[in-house]
Amino acid sequence: MSIEDLTPVPEPEQRVGIGIIGCADIAVRRALPAIRESAFRLVAVASRSREKAEGVAAAHGCAAAAGYERLLELPGIDAVYIPLPNSEHATWARRALEAGKHVLIEKPAVPGEETARALVTLAEERGLLIMENFAFLRHPQHDLAQSLVADGAIGELRSYNGVFGIPPTDPRGIKYQADLGGGALWEVGCYPVRAAQEYLRSSPQVLGAGLKFDPGLGVDISGVALLRDDDGVTANCSFGLSHSYRSTYDLWGNEGRLVLEWAFTPSHSARPVLRLQQKDRETRILAPASDQFLGVFTAFHDAVRDPAARAAHHHELVRQAGLMARIRAHALGGESR
């Protein structure tokens, strides 16, 4: 499809048009198929390489834009998804907001609370939404877990323990590049930290944090953070890029324990198991299969359509950025590289 073919076609109810800034693997594998199943109208994808943009666009029936600025200039784009390297998020989120687009940023959105607040302020001044993509939160297993905890299935929550680790991959990859915002804390540590905030009742204090750096790579390859809220509920978050795969969290109360065995990256066809342990019995609860990426684009679309839904997403983005920055500062202040 050529750029000249992009004149919007009138519809009975004009669908929200979306473009993708960058052709990252996560965008091609998970986001694009989800967008095509969502209420959005996929308009265009952009890459700095015209050839790459055209290849992805041809496979998904949309237009190709050579360059990110060009995509922001195209007609019919109301919102953008940004799956660029972490170091590029703030720049392109700001440019997209200035161009009048709603923004979904791949996690982690930005590395600090001040930057997050500035982007949220800009979005609110323009009447726009900015949202961070933690797709795992849109899987129904987490709603199920929160309902069980709220209903007293494990009594009063005492602690959370979250773990996300993945095996090492090509050291030339983005996740190992310090200047692109790589490292274990940003790549995988953000998951258990974000999940913990669904259960802690207040902005948590960082009791301790540590990062292990690889001197050859120049980035952290593993780490841990210990958090506590004002009610004394603790959260232990462990993560790494040099581990066997593990993606889990458990919630320990005074009357039981709830374990999510595949918490962060279940496939769209998988039915994750929750294990509820109470006294001398264990109940295995099978969650429904769900495409969590379709879930996040549905939530994003809903908040684009409903201005009243945006404040919660803005709050969550700022809260997460602030906590991640405090964890990193604590870790770097407590040990030498």
Residues with catalytic roles: 107
Q: What is the DSSP letter of 202?
A: S
Is 156 in contact with 251 (CB distance < 8 Å)?
no
Is 77 in contact with 19 (CB distance < 8 Å)?
yes
Q: Single out the residue of 172, 221, 162 nearest to residue 194, CA to CA.
A: 162
Question: Torsion angle of alpha carbons 108, 323, 212, 333, nearest 10°?
Answer: 130
Environment class of 150 (CB within 10 Å of its CB; exposed 0-12, middle 13-18, buried 19+): exposed
Structure tokens at 269: 């066809």
Helix axes 113-126, 89-98, angle to 10 degrees: 10
Calpha distance 71→93 (Å, rounded): 13
Is 17 in contact with 41 (CB distance < 8 Å)?
yes
Q: Single out the residue of 89, 38, 96 nearest to residue 71, CA to CA.
A: 96
Calpha distance 84→80 (Å, rounded): 12
